[in-house]
Structure 1
Amino acid sequence: MNAEIVGPGLSVVVPVFNEQDVLPLFAARLRPVLDALDVSYEVLTVDDGSRDATPAVLERMRREWPQLRVVRLRRNAGHQNALTAGLHRARGRYVVSIDVDLQDPPEVIADMLALARAENLDVVHGVRTDRSTDSMFKRWSAGLYYRLIRRVVGAAVPHNAGDFRLLSRTAVDALTELPEQLPVYRLLVPWLGLPSGEVSYAREVRAAGRSKYPLGKMIRLALDSITGFSAAPLRVATWLGLAGVALCVLMGGGVLAAYAWGTVVPGWTSMFVALVFLGALQLLGLGLLGEYVARIYTSVQGRPAYVVTFDSAVARRPAEVRL
């Protein structure tokens, strides 16, 4: 039968953006792990519009590693969209997603595959039990993110589980059918409710290069996570509005009582504070509402989340636009 149709037993999806320094180190650790498995495989690297020597490094690696497959996006689409491109084009019976920075050890892939086979699981999450290599701020912000998400979205979200996971073909097909424009897979995958397990590991230091998740992107991920899976922020704005109304009623009562007792002191401080407080509540409510309107706007536009301009497995096909 045609291998293009059957596909390998395992696909490893690796989003890549400006990672020329770490790619050779990543390949040196990943290839021995995959070669030792009793399964055919492909390593699907998604070049997310890199502007350094990453494309040249990938081409050189592809000539030396037959199982390496290079998918190139026309422009930078973001980590989650690059991951989407890889999941949609992966052909394996099982699909593992992993970042290239080596903070998630490739050796854990063998444990994930063994657990999925032994217990017939559709999802195996990689859970970080030791984050001592991260900065104190990174550990604090990550802990805050997971506590907030579990409270807002639900306890089904594994604590300290990022985008290092194994998915069965059933899980991948279910994800590709979802009409998500701004996917957050660490929440989407648990939402599917498929049989799942966990493999724990210690998070390592970044092997080379710089982090592609600075504070701004972490905040954006948190906003996408909350607004994409819960209407709780809108309810928060409602409750804040009610609290503001109640406070104004109390302040009005206090002003009337002071007037009746003849203790009114001329001044503008209290009025200024009240106006600033109410203005802040209104702006907060508008901001939260704007996040949801922006998601609706993005969905209505229907613009492609990414554009594939090259795939080494089907290099002769024209560029693909994914809606």
Structure 2
Amino acid sequence: MDTNEPPGLSVIIPAWNEAEFLPGTLEALDNALSQADVRAEIIVVDNASTDDTAAVAEAGGAKVVTEPERKIARVRNAGAEVASGRWLLFLDADTQVTSEHLMAVQAARSGSLAGAGVPVTLDAPLSRFYTVGMRVWNALSRRFRLAAGCFVLARADLHDAIGGFDERLYAGDEICHSRALRRAARRQGLEFRILTVPPVVSSARKVHWYAPWQHALVLLTFLLFPWAGRFRRLSWFWYRRPH
């Protein structure tokens, strides 16, 4: 293989103050890439972090890009703008993939897919409230072909064709991205779907940070006001952390 040839896959990880979680994410990703024999570039987009996120990312072998605007859609797009891969995989900084996920990605790249998501689970025992919530999300995700933001696979040319993630949004941009990518795929005889693989594991930290009533309030807000993602104040759940 020509090592000067651009990799087929670019993994893009938005990161705001993720020095604690990023080492585990990068280590899991590196192991998965090696086991699946997938060549990829890893891009960490440092989003105005005040901790050692950038240094941790560099130590983990990632290319670091800086994006000062605190808006997740903009951060994801900033990573895509410098990516050289024909395929883009957007991961959250607290999400750990396995070789099984990457082998499924590899198979998808050689098939008729334009993009994909995967089921999601969390890395801690959950109460019934959250267990049911995760099951409902995974069922809706598969039924309506909506990728969770912690794992979004997209063909780079189609990602560009739809204008990337909608930068008018502070939250929910991955849902709009899935819908737009699905429409673009259909026009080319391709598809967007949720891959049949074990769930990817993401951090349960928000379960520990916020009470069930706060999670329910966020869900209700976005169900009653679908445009809430255009306002940072209404999207507080994704932009605040306890001290």
Distance in 1 (alpha carbons) for counterparts of 2:199 and 2:166: 34
What are the Cα deviations for residues 191-232 of structure 1, in whole angstroms up to 9, with x where unaligned?
A: 33221232332353639xx4498547982896399634xxxx
| Mapped pair 1:25 → 2:27 | no
How far did 1:38 drift?
4.7
Q: Is the 8 A contact 2:119 2:138 kept in 1?
A: no
What are the Cα deviations for residues 261-292 of structure 1, in whole angstroms up to 9, with x where unaligned?
A: xxxxxxxxxxxxxxxxxxxxxxxxxxxxxx59
Structure 1 residue identity aligned to 2:79 = G
| Mapped pair 1:74 → 2:72 | no
TM-score if structure 1 supplies the norm length?
A: 0.53
Match 2:93 to one of 88, 97, 100: 100
Structure 1 residue identity aligned to 2:199 = A
Q: 1:144 to 1:156 in 2, by over 3 A?
A: closer
Q: Is the 8 A contact 1:184 1:224 kept in 2?
A: no
Larger radius of gyration: 1
| Mapped pair 1:49 → 2:41 | no
Structure 1 residue identity aligned to 2:54 = P
How far did 1:20 drift?
1.3
Partner of 1:190: 179
Structure 2 residue identity aligned to 1:192 = L
| Mapped pair 1:167 → 2:154 | yes
Partner of 2:8: 9
Distance in 2 (alpha carbons) for counterparts of 1:174 and 1:19: 30
Alignment of 1:107-256 (within 5 A): 107-128=99-120, 133=124, 135-136=126-127, 137-141=129-133, 156-158=144-146, 161-176=148-163, 180-182=167-169, 184-193=173-182, 194=185, 195-197=191-193, 198-204=195-201, 206=203, 210-211=205-206, 215=214, 219=218, 223=222, 227-228=226-227
Structure 2 residue identity aligned to 1:110 = L
For the aligned residue pairs, the C-alpha RMSD in angstroms reads: 4.0
Structure 1: stretches of 5+ with no match in the other structure: 229-290, 296-323
| Mapped pair 1:83 → 2:76 | yes
Q: Is the 8 A contact 1:163 1:185 kept in 2?
A: no
Distance in 2 (alpha carbons) for counterparts of 1:179 and 1:31: 29
Distance in 2 (alpha carbons) for counterparts of 1:169 and 1:86: 12
Structure 2 residue identity aligned to 1:188 = H
Structure 2: stretches of 5+ with no match in the other structure: 186-190, 232-243
Structure 2 residue identity aligned to 1:121 = L
Partner of 1:264: none
Q: Is the 8 A contact 1:46 1:86 kept in 2?
A: yes
Partner of 2:106, secondary structure, is helix
Q: Higher helix fraction: Structure 1 or Structure 2? A: 1
Structure 1 residue identity aligned to 2:93 = V
Q: Number of paired residues?
A: 214
Quote the sequence identity (%): 23
Q: Is the 8 A contact 2:104 2:197 kept in 1?
A: no
